Amino acid sequence: MVMIEKEKFSEEMVNLGEKYGRTRNALLPILQNLIESHKTLSDDMIREVADFLGIQPAEVYGVVTFYSFLNPEKRGKFRIYLCQTICCDMQGKAEIAKELEKELGIKFGETTEDGLFSLEYTNCIGMCDQGPALLVNEKVFVKVTPQMIKEIIEGCRLQKKEKLPQSNPINFLKILPDGLFSNVIPESGLKKALSIGRGETIKAITDSGLKGRGGAGFTTGVKWNLTAVAKDPVKFVVCNADEGEPGTFKDRVLLSNYADLVFEGMTIGGYAIGAKKGILYLRGEYRYMLPHLLSILEERRKNNLLGEKILNKEDFSFDIEIKLGSGAYVCGEETALIESLEGKRGEPRNRPPFPVNTGYLGHPTTVNNVETFLAAARILANGAEWFKKFGTEKSSGTKLFSISGNCKHPGVYELPMGIKVSELLKLVGGEDAKAVVIGGASGSIISPKDFERRISYEDLATGGSVMIFGKEMNLLKVAKNFMEFFVEESCGQCTPCRLGNVQLLKGIEMLQKNECSGQYLKQLLSLGETMKLTSKCGLGQSSPNVFTSLVENFPDEIGIKRED
């Protein structure tokens, strides 16, 4: 860096330091700001940042190269990210990709000579019900057509927002009567919690049987209880809004339409466990929602729903801050998310210790999904018995399902837990399905023989993703798309996941070319089992699911018989 640039850069760093602090956990927001203003993160900048935070340049470099949105290479003023996940693929991604390359005269991974545009593929951006979708910087465009590509590029070239086509996400949500969204009296859950006390608040959550809505299904009451009882005066509530599972977009709808209820649930969580601070970790792909969410937080502060002595409760102060992710699926795993919040690579931690005792910055931390917090707010308002009216004995309540793929009415549906797959298909106009993937890319692919099974924690578990595939769909193509996703998103920390996904992808490609023997298929299935048993976190433990269930449920589709 030449002297004048260095001075200017130092000034920029001081400003960022004032805003985010000079500790390691400020690293991600600092880098996000720098790449926004400079469109690159050069080695000089990395050294300056390291120096500013008192850490090694290698640590900063490690973080920069971990997150896809922090790619240090020089990029265009307008960064176009086209979603490459299967649902967008099914809705015409290839045509859009071709149009983009034609209009810009560059290939994916390149930047135009005038430095105005760069073109990249990205994984699921949570618009599966209205693809093909793309991001231009943080602005989302849905149901993109070739004609819109011309308009988008023209609008960017003229640098006039009004010239850009209007294509905002539509947040379709079908709710149940008397369900989560009926008769909502603002803050009734929070008022109830503050009136009954911490112990009874946790008891209400425990009695409701609420389980984590992100997919893992851990009992929420247990998490809150263990965090509440942990010995530490400093505790945190973290809301996991990093929904990166392909085919999942319910949190997008909740944060767009019901953010107040989510923040109310976080505040109740903070009160119950004894935390003074909450953090919402928002996936980088949802950055467009940030101004909306910040304005709601500000409103809550004005209304004494955040800050000191909330609702005049003498001993309860709590506030919420939003931190942005930077494009890493694995950060949806709670310990990877905590690492990311701490300004590190989002690599899952060994457990124990568990976050309930040793979470964010080493303090007891409850990490729950967006929908879990919303449900908690409603449970406090309406009571545990109301919640248990829905669902099964072990899977109580209603659940939000993100429905995409070959069906007439994609969108988000609130349905009781325990619903049969066939009932759900009828509701969304997907009765002709050949296959359904329950639980996203890490879920299972089931055939019509299993359509009478129930979606619940005791049978087909899901964080909400339901992808429907019609008769014409090539399921090996689906499995390949998912496995490419996992190869890219594996954090690389543990061998079974880092290498196993690559081998499974190669295996699928061999199957596509009809070059895979029955004996080799058997070895691939054995590799899948090894990955499930030995991977460090849920990513590698579940990434073989679609492949193994495809072989199990669709032997005709893979073209060869396994040798048992």
Partner 1 sequence: MAKILIIDDDIDIVEAIGILLRTFGHETDSAFNKIEGEKKVESFKPDLIILDVMMEEADDGMVLARDLRSKGFEKPIIMLTSLGSVTGYSVGNEEGILPVDVFHEKPISPDQLISTVKKLLEGKK
Where does this chain bind partner 1 (CB under 8 A)? 198-200, 202-203, 206, 219, 221-222, 225-226, 228-233, 274, 352-354, 356-358
CB of 14 or CB of 196, closer to partner 1: 196
Contact 250, 91 (CB under 8 A): no
Instruction: Report the nearest approach of partner 1 to the CB of residue 338 (Å).
Output: 15
Instruction: Report the nearest approach of partner 1 to the CB of residue 351 (Å).
Output: 8
CB of 161 or CB of 231, closer to partner 1: 231
CB of 291 or CB of 352, closer to partner 1: 352
Instruction: Report the nearest approach of partner 1 to the CB of residue 229 (Å).
Output: 5
Contacts of 459 (CB under 8 A, 6+ apart): 453
CB of 177 or CB of 352, closer to partner 1: 352
CA proximity to 371, closest of 208, 224, 254, 206: 254
Instruction: Report the nearest approach of partner 1 to the CB of residue 276 (Å).
Output: 13
d(CA 370, CA 282): 10
Instruction: Report the nearest approach of partner 1 to the CB of residue 198 (Å).
Output: 6
CB of 356 or CB of 460, closer to partner 1: 356
CB of 355 or CB of 463, closer to partner 1: 355
Contact 551, 529 (CB under 8 A): no
Concatenated DSSP letters of 428-475: HT-TT-SEEEESGGGSEEE-GGGTTSBBSTTSB--SSEEEEE-TT--H
Instruction: Report the nearest approach of partner 1 to the CB of residue 200 (Å).
Output: 7
CB of 228 or CB of 551, closer to partner 1: 228
Please give the structure tokens belonging to residue 196: 């009954």
Instruction: Report the nearest approach of partner 1 to the CB of residue 310 (Å).
Output: 16
CB of 274 or CB of 284, closer to partner 1: 274
Token look-up 């009734």 returns 188
Instruction: Report the nearest approach of partner 1 to the CB of residue 208 (Å).
Output: 13
Instruction: Report the nearest approach of partner 1 to the CB of residue 358 (Å).
Output: 7
| 365-331-225 Cα angle (round to 5) | 20
DSSP state of 246: T
**In 303-457, which residue ranges form alpha helices assigned H by DSSP?**
334-341, 370-382, 384-388, 421-428
CB of 106 or CB of 226, closer to partner 1: 226
| Cα-Cα-Cα-Cα dihedral sign, residues 14, 19, 25, 29 | negative
Contact 436, 421 (CB under 8 A): yes
Contacts of 72 (CB under 8 A, 6+ apart): 40, 41, 42, 46, 64, 65
CB of 110 or CB of 200, closer to partner 1: 200
Instruction: Report the nearest approach of partner 1 to the CB of residue 240 (Å).
Output: 20
Question: 3-class SS at 188?
Answer: helix
Question: 3-class SS at 336?
Answer: helix
Instruction: Report the nearest approach of partner 1 to the CB of residue 365 (Å).
Output: 13
Contacts of 61 (CB under 8 A, 6+ apart): 46
Please give the structure tokens belonging to residue 340: 């990311």
**In 42-138, which residue ranges form alpha helices assigned H by DSSP?**
43-53, 57-64, 86-90, 93-104
d(CA 276, CA 256): 25
CB of 118 or CB of 358, closer to partner 1: 358
Please, how many CA atoms are within 13 Å of residue 307, restricted to the half-sphere of its CB? 11
Instruction: Report the nearest approach of partner 1 to the CB of residue 501 (Å).
Output: 30
Contact 420, 448 (CB under 8 A): no
Contact 14, 26 (CB under 8 A): no
CB of 204 or CB of 424, closer to partner 1: 204
CB of 316 or CB of 390, closer to partner 1: 316
Please, how many CA atoms are within 13 Å of residue 189, restricted to the half-sphere of its CB? 31
Contact 87, 131 (CB under 8 A): yes
Contacts of 5 (CB under 8 A, 6+ apart): none
Instruction: Report the nearest approach of partner 1 to the CB of residue 461 (Å).
Output: 18
Q: How many residues does the chain have?
A: 564
Contact 278, 239 (CB under 8 A): yes
